[in-house]
Amino acid sequence: MTDLAITFDDVTAAARRLEPVAHRTPVLRSQTFDELVGATVLFKMESLQRGGAFKFRGAYNSVSQLGEQQRARGVVAFSSGNHAQAVAFASRLLGVPATIVMPADAPASKRAATEGYGATVRTYDRYTEDRRAIAAQIAEQTGAHLIPPYDDPAIMAGQGTAGLELLDETGPLDVVVAPVGGGGLLSGVAVATRAMSPDAEIYGVEPEAGNDAQRSLRDGAIVTIDTPQTIADGAQTQFLGEHTFPVLQALLSGIVTVTDQQLVDQMRFFAARMKQVVEPTGALAAAALLAGKLDIAGKRVGVIVSGGNIDLNRFAALISD
């Protein structure tokens, strides 16, 4: 355990840094949902986090630890959306210049929000260009510090504070479920859960079209896939991280997948019954429960609802029948 990238102390340290700036997002219940799935479900609404997703947690935890000189040189990040917004927002709060490398086909709302926070946006073609190489080049040319989207201890510890807050509010749970893209959120939440609710089972949920995390755990090595075609754009990652994978390997009970249609069903439930706007990726964990992918009968289940950033026209089109 000691050779994992982060410990629970890292998560509690991140929680102290975030306490003055991050929202302590609400934990919501729905009696209808509980009846549908036959369990007690507690939804941690990171869709209501600053910047509209949990990613503010990792970004702020990371940027706030940079020294004066590095802050002056700025930061650079590559992201399909929410990490971009989060780094841009955290950087603005801390007075640090930010450059964001973003796919040319990123949702309009995400690009606009990133620019609105004062960041410089550099676009690329996500099917042909290598965003890591572009970001690395900017870092080399300008001296900017690269803030990776998930495979970084400061990011993982920051994201883990969502799990810490959830368990702080609910007490021990039987099951904790979170989405997995590159595994930053899930690894942090898993470390917090193992410390605060040692007997809880921990599950990840990813899109069926891109089940690299599921395959990686099965194979015992990081599996790389082509960019998956799914409406869950925050989980279109091609591989887990070198830091996140060992944490998931050590702490997870398993990973399940859901289809795009199951994500839409869950988004409709959030909107109709709970009056919540949740983006497709944000609905992953809850969708797995609604689709009956996990054995949760009679259990107390914590679910991370990871984000709510979606273009309103797109949201309306997805949830209309």
Ligand X SMILES: *Cc1c(COP(=O)(O)O)cnc(C)c1O
Positions marked active-site? 55, 80, 206, 210, 212, 306
Q: Smallest distance from the beta carbon of 57 to ligand X, in angstroms?
A: 10
- CB-wise, 201 or 212, nearer to ligand X? 212
Burial class (CB in 10 A: 0-12, 13-18, 19+), 68: exposed
Q: Nearest approach, Cβ of 284 to ligand X (angstroms)?
A: 7
The amino acid at residue 284 is L
Bridge partners of 7? none
To ligand X, the closest distance from the beta carbon of 83 in angstroms equals 6
- Cβ neighbours around 220 below 10 Å, total: 9
Residue nearest ligand X, Cβ-based = 307
Structure tokens at 104: 């040319």
Beta carbons of 233 and 260 less than 8 angstroms apart: no
CA distances (Å), origin 139, targets 81, 123, 130, 136, 177? 19, 16, 15, 5, 35
Binding site for ligand X (CB under 6 A): 53, 55, 82, 149-150, 159, 179-186, 234-235, 237, 279, 281-282, 306-307
Q: Strands of 254-258's sheet, edge to edge?
A: 27-28, 40-45, 300-305, 175-179, 201-207, 254-258
DSSP H or E run through 45: strand 40-45
Please say whether the dihedral angle defined by the alpha carbons of residues 305, 307, 313 and 318, taken in this order, is positive or negative.
negative
The Cα 284–Cα 267 span in angstroms is 9
Map residue 224 onto helix, strand or coil: coil
- In one letter, which amino acid is 213? A
Nearest to 101 by CA among 85, 79, 68, 119: 79
Minimum distance between the CB of residue 311 and ligand X, rounded to whole angstroms? 14
**Shortest separation between residue 31's beta carbon and ligand X, angstroms:** 25
For ligand X, give the closer residue by CB, 40 or 44. Answer: 44
**Closest approach of Cβ 221 to ligand X, in Å?**
18
Helix (H, G, I), strand (E, B) or coil at 262: helix
DSSP string, 234-260: GG--SS--TTHHHHHHHH-SEEEEE-H
Nearer to ligand X, 161 or 281 (CB): 281
User: Please, which residue, 74 or 181, has the CB nearer to ligand X?
Assistant: 181
Nearer to ligand X, 152 or 201 (CB): 152
Q: For residues 163 and 234, which CB has a smaller minimum distance to ligand X in the complex? A: 234
